[in-house]
Amino acid sequence: MKIEIWSDVLCPFCYIGKRNFESALTQFTEKDKIEIEWKSFQLNPALSEFPSESYEEYLINAKGLPKHQVQAMLDNVTQMAQKVGLHYDFENAVMVNSFKAHRLIQFAKTKNAGNQAEEQLFKAFFTEGENIAEEATLKNIGTEIGLSEAEVDQALNENKYADLVESDMQLARDFQISSVPFFVFDRKYAVSGAQAVSVFLQTMEKSFSKWKEVHKMTSMDVVEGANCSVDGICED
């Protein structure tokens, strides 16, 4: 069963939601039958690739909120992150456009490394204060998850990876997804936001139960003949 996750690596609740979802997945008894696909989403496609303001300044200017309110919000999110074992450093976060990061994720997905790319990009942005719009940073992250520098260049320069980012965002619009994280279970159930582990687990169990009804294994009448089995025994 496929679970699709729309996320932006600039979104603090997406990283927290990832941790809670992962905790739920470890408790799910049939997790080997789950396929996870990360989907691209940009909270603000108009952001510059060149840093000009802090995370706090960005929220003050973008939302029109007073500084004390923004500080309280960030303190609250930092505490939420700590509860799931994450360290957020908003003071050093480099606020830039995430499109190139999403291109890297799209390429990583072709190598079955989408989850690793998401993890390392979240960590780079929220914990390590890295500029995730810089190609040098993305190359470092790419090599950390097993990609070559040439493959990262491919991700950042071939149009098809940009097209895949745009395709994910168009699908989000089609589904009327306007906030992230957003988890879609078998295109039948959805969870919005960094919900509790129990919410993810319950939704996973409910959706998998429905999925299993449709994908039942059927028994077959077998006509036996000469064959060899996986244990190396051949019989006629």
Structure tokens at 110: 């072709």
pLDDT of res. 219: 57
Q: Determine the pLDDT at residue 228.
A: 79
Cis amide prior to 51 (ω within 30 degrees): no
Contact residues for 30 (Cβ-Cβ < 8 A; gap 6+): 208
DSSP one-letter code for 91: G
Q: What count of residues does the chain have?
A: 236
pLDDT for res 121: 98
* CA atoms of 117 and 122, how far apart (whole Å): 9
Main-chain dihedrals φ then ψ at residue 205, nearest 5 degrees: -65, -40
In the prediction, which pLDDT does 235 show? 72
User: What is the reported pLDDT for 31?
Assistant: 95
Verdict on whether the full-model pTM lies above 0.85 = yes
How many Cβ atoms sit within 10 Å of the Cβ of residue 137?
A: 21
Query: pLDDT tens, 163-200?
Result: 999 999 999 999 999 999 999 999 999 999 999 999 99
Chunked in runs of 10, what are the mean pLDDT values of the chain (236 residues)? 98 98 97 97 96 94 93 97 98 97 98 98 98 98 97 97 98 97 97 98 97 74 73 68
pLDDT at 232: 63
Say what the pLDDT of residue 63 is: 87
Task: Look at residue 231 in the predicted model and tell me its pLDDT.
Answer: 64
The reported pLDDT for the residue numbered 230 is: 62
Residue 51 is predicted with a pLDDT of: 94
